[in-house]
C-alpha cells in the first residue's frame, strides 16, 4: 500500500502524480489489445497535466502523451496503406511493438522513481 501523506503537501502531490501516471500506463497496456482506452488515457493526461507540473510525473505525462500521438499517427498511416503490398500491416506491427516498448519502459522507469526522459 502506498505511503499516505497529508493532503496539499509536496509529497502528496508527488504521490498523486505517480498514481495517475501508473493508472495511465495501465490504461495504455490494456489499449494494446483494444485501442479505445488509449483515448481515455490521453484525456486523463491532458486533464491532469497542470496538477503534476514540477513533479516526477510531469515527464511521464509528456512521455505518455507523445506515445499516444505517435501511436495514433502510425496506426492511421498503417490503416491507410494496408492494401499497398501489405506495407500497412508492417507499419501497424511496428507501431504495436513500439507502443509495447514505450508502455513497459515508462512504467519500469516510473517504478524506479526516475523521470521518463
Tens digits of residue pLDDT in 65-84: 999 999 999 999 999 998 87
pTM of the model: 0.85
* Mean pLDDT calculated for residue range 40-52: 95
Name the one residue in this structure whose C-alpha cell is 493526461.
45
Element (H, E) at 27: helix 10-31
Per-residue pLDDT band at 9 (split at 50, 70, 90):
confident
Domain ranges of the chain: 10-111
> Residue by residue, what is the 3-state secondary structure of 27-62?
HHHHHCCCCHHHHHHHHHHHHHHHHHCCCHHHHHHH
pLDDT at 83: 81
Amino acid at each position: 500500500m502506498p505511503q499516505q501523506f497529508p493532503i496539499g503537501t509536496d509529497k502528496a502531490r508527488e504521490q498523486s502524480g505517480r498514481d495517475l501516471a501508473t493508472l495511465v500506463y495501465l490504461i495504455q497496456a490494456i489499449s494494446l489489445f483494444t485501442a479505445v482506452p488509449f483515448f481515455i488515457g490521453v484525456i486523463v493526461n491532458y486533464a491532469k497535466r497542470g496538477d503534476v507540473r514540477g513533479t516526477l510525473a510531469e515527464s511521464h505525462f509528456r512521455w505518455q502523451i507523445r506515445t499516444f500521438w505517435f501511436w495514433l499517427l502510425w496506426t492511421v498511416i498503417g490503416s491507410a496503406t494496408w492494401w499497398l503490398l501489405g506495407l500497412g500491416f508492417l507499419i501497424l506491427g511496428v507501431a504495436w511493438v513500439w507502443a509495447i516498448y514505450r508502455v513497459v519502459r515508462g512504467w519500469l522507469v516510473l517504478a524506479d522513481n526516475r523521470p521518463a526522459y
